[in-house]
Amino acid sequence: MEQSFSQRMGLKPVKNIIQEGSMDDDLRSSLWNVVYTKIWVRSMASPQIDFQPFIDDIWIYFFKYTVDQAPKINNNALGTIKTYFFSCKWNEVYDFIQFIANNFPWDPVVQDFMQSCNYILSRELSAYQFVGKRIEPITSKREIAEIEQALNVSIRFTHHLDKALELLANKKAPDYTNSIKESISAVEAMCKLITGSSKVTLGDALRQIESKLGVLHPALKSAFNSLYGYTSDAEGIRHGTLGKSGLDVADAKFMLIACSAFINYLVAKAEKAGIKLDAIPNVGSSALSVLSQAAFKTFWRKSGKPARPYMERLIYFSLLIFPSTGPLL
C-alpha cells in the first residue's frame, strides 16, 4: 500500500501511523470484533457462564448508571454497549477492554480475550498493549519523536527510512523483512553520505566514519555492527528471504526505532564536527546514473537497433545535465 501524499509530506505524523494518542476505525472495529466473539458470543454459548451479573457490573461500575436501569441480556444490552464503544473517545475504548479483563468472571476466557486484543493491537500498530491485565504504552513519545526527526533529516538524502515505515504501516500486506532491510539501509546510506564513499558496506563505513566524526563509543559501534550482522544473517534479510519469515511487527518496529535513533546520532555528530550534510553530494546519484545508462544501453541493444556513436554521446550529455536521474530518453 503506497503512502498517501499527507504521509510522505509529513502532514500525517508518525504518531498517527503508530497509533499513540489516537485510534483509527480499523483498530476500533477490530477490537469490537474481539469483544463480541470472545466475550459476548462465547458467554452466550456457554452454560458455565452467568453473563447477566457481568452486564450489571458494566452498567453500575463502568458506565456508573443506576442499577434499576441495567438492561437484560436479551433486551438490547449488546446494542447499548456497542453504541457506546463506537462513539466514545479512543482512550475510553482502552478503559473498556481493560475493565473486561479485570472483571469478567472466567479466567480462561479473559486470557484468550487479552491475547486476541494484543494480536490486534500489534497488527494495527497501536502504541499500547495488555501487560498483565493493564493496558500499558509499549511505544513512547520519545521513540516516535526519534522516527519523525530521522525521517525529516534522511528524506533529503535517501528514501530507505521512509520506505521502512511504509512497509511496516501496510496493514493489508505488511512486509516486516523488507522493512528491517530498509531501516538498516537508511543507516548505511547516511554513513556513505558522511564518508563520501558509495561502495562501502555499513561495517566498513562505521570504521571509516570515525575519521570524519571522531571516535564513536565502542559499545555503540559494536551494537550497530552486531545489528548489521543480524540483518546480514538472520532470515536472509539483506539477501532475500528463502521460505516463510519468522520476523514480526516487533522486530520491524524495533529496527525502525533503533536505526532512527542512530541516524539522529550521526547527524548530531556530523554537525558537531562541522560537516554540513546539505552540502555533500548524494553518493547514490552517480550510481543511479550508471544504472540508468546501463539500462538504456541494454534496452537499445535488445531493440535490435544498430549501435550509433551519437546516441552514446547523447546519453553522456544527458548525464551531465541530469546527474541525479540519469539519461532522460
Residue 195: its pLDDT value, please?
A: 84
CB 293 within 8 A of CB 325: no
Top-level CATH class of 142-279? mainly alpha
Residue 94: its pLDDT value, please?
A: 97
Crossing angle of the two packed helices 90-103 and 25-34, in degrees rounded to 10: 20
Among 187, 180, 159, 198, which Cα is nearest to 284's? Answer: 198
Residue 128: its pLDDT value, please?
A: 92
Task: Record the pTM.
Answer: 0.65
Residue 233: its pLDDT value, please?
A: 63
C-alpha cell at 60: 453500575
Residue 322: its pLDDT value, please?
A: 42
Residue 194: its pLDDT value, please?
A: 87
Residue 35: its pLDDT value, please?
A: 97
Residue 12: its pLDDT value, please?
A: 54
- φ/ψ bin of 20: left (φ > 0), alpha (ψ from -120 to 50), beta (otherwise): beta
CB 233 within 8 A of CB 242: no
pLDDT digit of tens for each residue in the chain (329 aa)? 455 555 555 445 676 788 888 999 999 999 999 999 999 998 888 877 788 899 999 999 999 998 888 887 766 888 999 999 999 999 999 999 999 999 999 899 999 999 999 999 988 989 899 989 999 888 778 888 888 888 888 888 888 998 998 888 887 788 888 999 899 889 888 888 888 887 777 778 877 888 888 877 788 778 877 877 777 665 556 555 444 567 888 888 888 988 998 899 888 888 888 887 765 555 444 333 333 344 444 444 444 545 554 444 444 444 444 444 444 43
Residue 103: alpha-carbon gap to chain centroid: 33
Q: How far apart are CA 295 and CA 21, in angstroms?
A: 47
Residue 71: its pLDDT value, please?
A: 81
